[in-house]
Amino acid sequence: LAAYDDVDPTAHVVQHVLLMMVAPPLLALGEPVTLAIQATGRPLQLRIVGVAHSRAAALLTFPVVTWLLYLATMYGYFLTPLYRYSLGHPLLHEATHLWSVLVGCLYFWPLLGPDPARRRRSYAVRVASLLAGMPFEAFLGIAIAGMTRPIAPGTTLAATRAAGETFWILSMTVSGLCLAAVVLQWSRQLQREGPREDRRVELSVADNRARAEQLGVRSLPPGFTVPWWRLAELEAQAARQLERSMPPQATADGRPDPARPDPGGA
């Protein structure tokens, strides 16, 4: 790809997708931070964990920041003169490759990576982030395919349109695979949490039925519980009955306390 990316826009597009949308998710799924923590000594482990939980890392991986960086990099590179300018300046070209990888890692790492972080996104937010980005990726491919002039000197309009169509197809395919990976991770988490949640519900039901029986509720059908507001009413009634059944308190001179009525009186 590197041998043809200066003359073939399709090769350049494939290279860009690999650097920004394929390599970062694979790196994230490899859990490099977790592996580094497991393979190093205690002092370096503390430093790695400190960096992963730092405010700077949390800011750089904040959903809005990563989303804007990701899309701005794509649109800024292909729809501005930067693409044509980088073809004539190899050092800038290599810098754009490095920048694409870094931005892709910032975007995909919180979405797919199970590495430790200051704040973990919920799976619903991850799915929403991927779904929100897919239309913009498709629109960029359509915009490249709809250009009225070649994207760079020395290329044809047909090659430019082929590059746009290639980008649209590849970006949707990669984003779809990443979305499937997130859904699979979500499903596995639900499977792990399912037995714990079932046990919590069973304990809650048993506690509810035990409290209801203590308050005089009998013959509850199996699996049924008493609503919380009804339990509160029964507990309040039991407290009032207990208060009425208590003997009146005596004052310091031995006479009954007039503030406490005698339950046996008229």
Q: What is the DSSP string of 141-179?
A: HHHHHT-SS-SSTT--HHHHHHHHHHHHHHHHHHHHHHH
* Angle 196-200-205 from CA coordinates, rounded to 5°: 150
Q: What is the mean pLDDT of the chain?
A: 84
Number of Cβ atoms within 10 Å of the Cβ of 13? 26
| 165 has a pLDDT exceeding 90 | yes
Q: Which whole number is the average pLDDT over 66-79?
A: 92
216 Cβ partners below 8 Å, 6+ apart?
Answer: 234
- The share of the chain scoring above pLDDT 70, in percent, equals 92
Report field, pTM of the whole predicted structure over 0.75: no
Where does the pLDDT of residue 15 fall: very low under 50, low under 70, confident under 90, or very high at 90 and above? very high
Out of 58-67, 133-142, 159-168, 220-229, pick the least confident. Answer: 220-229
131 Cβ partners below 8 Å, 6+ apart?
Answer: 179
- In the numeric block, the tokens 């949707």 are attached to 172
Give 98 or 231, the one with higher predicted confidence: 98
Burial label, 191 (beta-carbon count in 10 A; 0-12, 13-18, 19+): exposed
Q: What is the pLDDT of residue 95?
A: 94
CB 248 within 8 A of CB 256: yes
Q: What is the pLDDT of residue 266?
A: 45
CB 141 within 8 A of CB 165: yes
| 127 has a pLDDT exceeding 60 | yes
3-state secondary structure of 256: strand
3-state secondary structure of 250: strand
Please give the distance of CA 211 from its chain centroid, rounded to a whole number.
39
CA distance 187 to 18: 27
Please give the distance of CA 150 from its chain centroid, rounded to a whole number.
39
Where does the pLDDT of residue 258 fall: very low under 50, low under 70, confident under 90, or very high at 90 and above? low
The token pair at 151 is 């994207």
Where does the pLDDT of residue 144 fall: very low under 50, low under 70, confident under 90, or very high at 90 and above? very high
CB 73 within 8 A of CB 100: yes
Amino acid identity of 74? Answer: M
In 84-243, beta strands by DSSP E:
none
Where does the pLDDT of residue 236 fall: very low under 50, low under 70, confident under 90, or very high at 90 and above? confident
Q: Which whole number is the average pLDDT over 50-62?
A: 85
Please write the tens of the pLDDT for every residue from 95-105.
999 999 999 99
Q: Which whole number is the average pLDDT over 115-129?
A: 83
